[in-house]
Structure 1
């Protein structure tokens, strides 16, 4: 495909390799898949955090470079998206708690499903926040962002102007297709730890989107 950059191709090959190996291991040695390939504080989890952080750094660098040429709403939009990804990176590694060997406070010890300092594993009235917000809400956001918004951006001038005004990077269709393929591959992995691979794919694809969106002109002077 002519629309694929060299970085896109490398990233897609990487995801196919990671998921291909993951599917093979999950179907031949599930314990190894759970306890090594996708283990807590493993290479997959840290890879996700690094990619989310890199996405935020990319946006912040563009803000620094272009902020004197842009309107206030553009600045608000790009910084808001950068904050969301910094937050996601922090949550992924429990804000460096295990890296720096920091003890959880009493509140998190009592109310966090894994006794960690993060919000997505909090338990409220017997229900995990991760299931309510970080799963159900995130699914709705992904459908809106990856499927509905790109279509409306191409068809509705008002949506196009609004997205550009708030510096919202619009998805090229091959990124949407890649995400749908990755989602489909999850059915071949019978493990709760498969979501770690899904989060890694999220990190990879969103970095690609931010790097080369359909409306890349929002990053020009």
Structure 2
């Protein structure tokens, strides 16, 4: 396991503080936890959106800097990941709808669980897209990416070449461990609003992954 950078240490301390306070408030003052600490349009939500945006900007800046030295599949991979995180940042704050006080169109009023302009709260045939795609599917992707992929990358040359070819950053084990710890800490919060903190952990850890992956050489000339 590589030595933690100063950024890693600051980020993990931040998560320890955030989750520590979350556990405390969730068990001592549930109203404060739900209506202030993890409230809609609150610190956790905006911080998550900001970190997702930072991840996207980081990848785009690397694309701009290195595109003339890289193959097309590398460009495709890094831009695809950057787009996913840009999309995630927009969805997190409903594309600035509440910030700029923009009214939803009739379609979203009728088909969105919160009548907001976003896709993850859409309701299709009585089922929320968020539950089907952004929960179940995302859980599977996270297990593969955070646990299985790092192992395969270390063991098989073909997997290493494929990941590097498409500019896929590979997780360091301390990043995987941090995510698993955050997942476990959710058990100590008795509120559905706890998922706001989990999304914040996602934003923090994935920014660290993109900043300093195991295969950081994919970001060199």
TM-score by length of 1: 0.99
Aligned ranges 1:1-221 → 2 under 5 Å: 3-221=3-221
1:2, CA displacement in angstroms? 5.5
Tell me, in whole angstroms, the C-alpha distance in 2 between the residues paired with 1:157 and 1:182.
31
Tell me, in whole angstroms, the C-alpha distance in 1 between the residues paired with 2:145 and 2:2.
23
1:8, CA displacement in angstroms? 0.3
Structure 1 residue matching 2:113: 3-state secondary structure: coil
Structure 2 residue matching 1:62: 3-state secondary structure: helix
Structure 2 residue matching 1:193: 3-state secondary structure: helix
Residue by residue over 1:87-112, the C-alpha shift from the partner in whole angstroms, topping out at 9 and shown as x without a partner, is 00000000000111110000000010
Could you say if the C-alpha distance between residues 209 and 90 of structure 1 is closer, same or farther in structure 2, counting changes exceeding 3 Å? same
Residue by residue over 1:116-166, the C-alpha shift from the partner in whole angstroms, topping out at 9 and shown as x without a partner, is 000000011111000000000000000000000000000011000000000
Structure 2 residue matching 1:204: 3-state secondary structure: helix
Structure 2 residue matching 1:199: 3-state secondary structure: helix
TM-score by length of 2: 0.99
Stretches of structure 1 lacking an aligned partner (at least 5 in a row): none
Tell me, in whole angstroms, the C-alpha distance in 2 between the residues paired with 1:189 and 1:116.
27
Tell me, in whole angstroms, the C-alpha distance in 2 between the residues paired with 1:8 and 1:190.
28
Tell me, in whole angstroms, the C-alpha distance in 2 between the residues paired with 1:148 and 1:2.
19
Stretches of structure 2 lacking an aligned partner (at least 5 in a row): none
Residue by residue over 1:53-78, the C-alpha shift from the partner in whole angstroms, topping out at 9 and shown as x without a partner, is 00000000000000000000000000
> Considering only aligned residues, what root-mean-square deviation do their CA atoms show, in Å?
0.7
Tell me, in whole angstroms, the C-alpha distance in 1 between the residues paired with 2:110 and 2:2.
53
